[in-house]
Amino acid sequence: MSDETALLRAIATNPDEDTPRLAFADWLDEHGRPERAAFIRGQIELARLKEDSLHRREVAFKCRQLLDAHEKEWLDPRHFGFDWQWSRGFVETFTDSPVSIEENGSAWLYSVNPFRRVWVQELLGKVDGLSFIPADNHITALDLTGNRLNATQLRRLAKMTHFPHVRELGLMFNALRDASVRVLCDEDFFQRLDLIRLGANPFTDFGRDQLRAHFGDRVAFDHGREPERLYTIKDDYLRVGWGDEFTQFLLIAGEYRQRLAVFDHAGNLLRVDGRNVPHAIGDDHRVRGRTREAARDRWLAELGYRSAAIKVKAFRFPDGGGITPFNWWADVFDGREPAPPGGMQDSVEGWLECGKFRFDIGGRDVWLNRGGDVTDT
């Protein structure tokens, strides 16, 4: 076993500890890979700095620059082709499937990466494929969204013994009806969980009430995705970019009022501002348009605007616009809206697999993919 592999296995075996990660950063410096080492140290510092400050924003900005420049060198596309998230210098959030695990050696991948949050796709209505995940994993959040699972499969999941660390379970967009309530309430596996996400499943109101009575706030029926997930928004459709004091921002110029969301480079929302657009005399829409653009450009100049793609976590403006949860498709799965001809399963799966997300601008939906490109309006 090489020194590098041994160090990586120590990190995977002790995912909560910073010491093995810092030891690997020292080894990287000694072997001519200073950028990778700087990224690990920077993200560890970022995780320790809990409160917003100019220094924390600078650290987040430097990490973002390093990742933009080197991410393709640091990841093997055979394993990281869909969705992932970095934390403390390593990928901890990861998307996998039985086919990937079997064909691409992902089992080995678990031994050298500190995976904590894993979304498993393509289970085809059965949990059997989860057996491909190594028994010595350290997964704390298991996401089984969109796998057509039912009560029988939940019972099989509860009997599996190789998820001892899991404390959060995602079960959105499955086929869980009231028959699943007893399974969830009776099986020991579910009792030790801190959070079970059950949105977009056709429980009745009675079934939901039973689950809330049993689990309290440890069960959720909303339609939100992974809370730490980063969404990319490009400057070619919405006015976004980097600003002064190591920030990134999104500016929406409406007819009468402009809205601004300011984020740090770790994607956290720092503040939301608003300004009224100066009144333009007369009815000429061209004059009003020039007035609106001039007001927008003045604000952009104040912000120190530099055109760039931003990466942010889900957020909402006070009026409800912003990156929003799943739309009415989720209500179809909830059984609260009639299913259109042909059903919605294929559409939802395609949407999830393409990584799309919904951006609401004053009640109008814009769909963007994981790269920030507009796919539909």
Nearest-angstrom CA–CA distance, 196 and 140 = 12
Q: What tens digit of pLDDT does each residue of 185-207 get?
A: 999 999 999 999 999 999 999 99
Q: What pLDDT is recorded for position 364?
A: 81
Q: What pLDDT is recorded for position 199?
A: 92
Q: Which class in CATH covers the domain with range 3-220?
A: alpha beta
Contact 158, 130 (CB under 8 A): no
Longest dimension (CA), the chain: 77
The rounded percent of the chain whose pLDDT value lies above 70 is 91
Tokens of 258: 């402009």
The residue with greater pLDDT, 288 or 178, is 178
| Cα distances (angstroms) measured from residue 371 to each of 81, 125, 234 | 13, 29, 8
What order of strands is seen across the sheet that includes strand 374-376? 322-324, 357-361, 364-368, 374-376
The rounded percent of the chain whose pLDDT value lies above 90 is 62
Average pLDDT, integer, range 122-133? 91
Question: What is the average pLDDT value for the chain, to the nearest integer?
Answer: 89
Domain boundary assignment for the chain: 3-220, 231-376
- DSSP-assigned states of every residue in 66-102: HHHHHHHHHS-TTT-SS-EEEETTEEEEEEE-HHHHH
SS3 string, 315-332, reads CECCCCCEEECCCHHHHH
Q: In which band, very low, low, confident or very high, does the pLDDT at 181 lie, cut at 50, 70 and 90? A: very high
Nearest-angstrom CA–CA distance, 161 and 159 = 6
Residue 335 has pLDDT above 80, yes or no: no
| Cα distances (angstroms) measured from residue 100 to each of 81, 118, 141 | 10, 13, 19
Weakest mean pLDDT among 261-270, 297-306, 331-340, 347-356: 347-356
Nearest-angstrom CA–CA distance, 242 and 327 = 29
Q: What pLDDT is recorded for position 105?
A: 63
Q: What tens digit of pLDDT does each residue of 14-38 get?
A: 999 999 999 999 999 999 999 999 9
Q: What tens digit of pLDDT does each residue of 235-270 get?
A: 888 899 999 999 999 998 777 888 999 999 999 999
* Max mean pLDDT range (275-279, 286-290, 352-356): 275-279
Contact 92, 68 (CB under 8 A): no
Q: What tens digit of pLDDT does each residue of 42-101 get?
A: 999 999 999 999 999 999 999 999 999 999 999 987 778 778 899 999 999 988 888 776
Phi-psi region of 255 (alpha: psi -120 to 50; beta: other; left: phi over 0): alpha
